[in-house]
Amino acid sequence: MARFSRARAIRQRTWLAIGVILSVLLCDQVIKVAVKTNMCLHEARQVTEWFYIYFTENQGMAFGMDFIGTMALSIFRIIAVSAFAWLLVKVIRGRYPVGLVVCMSLIVSGAAGNIFDNCFYGLIFDASTPTEVAHFVPFGTGYADFLTGHVVDMFYFPLIDASWPQWVPMVGGEHFVFFSAVFNFADAAISCGAVALLFFYHRYIQS
């Protein structure tokens, strides 16, 4: 009876992880394709005073950070997400809280969503430019090779757009934007999963 209950719990956790991963991947790719095929590069559309849809691309780091080559970064990300997927399997099979399964699934799905861009967007789209939207092209005839496509970012929340007071040393009078990062749905999934993991399940990380 105990073995049956354990097998049932593993199945339920497995389907939960699959559901979270597929949902995040679907939402992420639908948003990215819609932005890429309807907006020019660096085009911004205001939703509210503190929220814009701003289309930009990067090599694959979260929140638009770039500092190494796209292919090297893509390979690193594939290795990293494989390691997290392996940990997710261990969590599913172990006696861990369901919330931990959700957190790990968010991180895996978010990383996988950006890896998909790196792997395939350069093969299936022509290049986005400041004057032209991208279009689907025959597979392999796009703007980049396998593993060198760019990740699509679009969410921009300039919560505070102001200038430093003149009396502030060194930066007085200079313009600044609080939270100027541009990110996508996959980045949000990674961040939410990681923050929840650190706040609520940190003892499992340490064990």
The whole-angstrom separation of Cα 47 and Cα 107 is 27
DSSP per-residue codes, 128-172 = P-SS----B-STT-SSS-TT-PPEEEEEE--SEEEE--TTSTTTT
Please tell me which residue in 66, 117, 126, 153 is annotated as part of the active site: 153
Dihedral over alpha carbons 8, 93, 187, 21 (to 10 degrees): -30
Q: Has 153 been annotated as catalytic? A: yes
Q: Has 145 been annotated as catalytic? A: no
Q: How many CB atoms lie within 10 A of CB 205?
A: 9
Catalytic residues: 153, 187
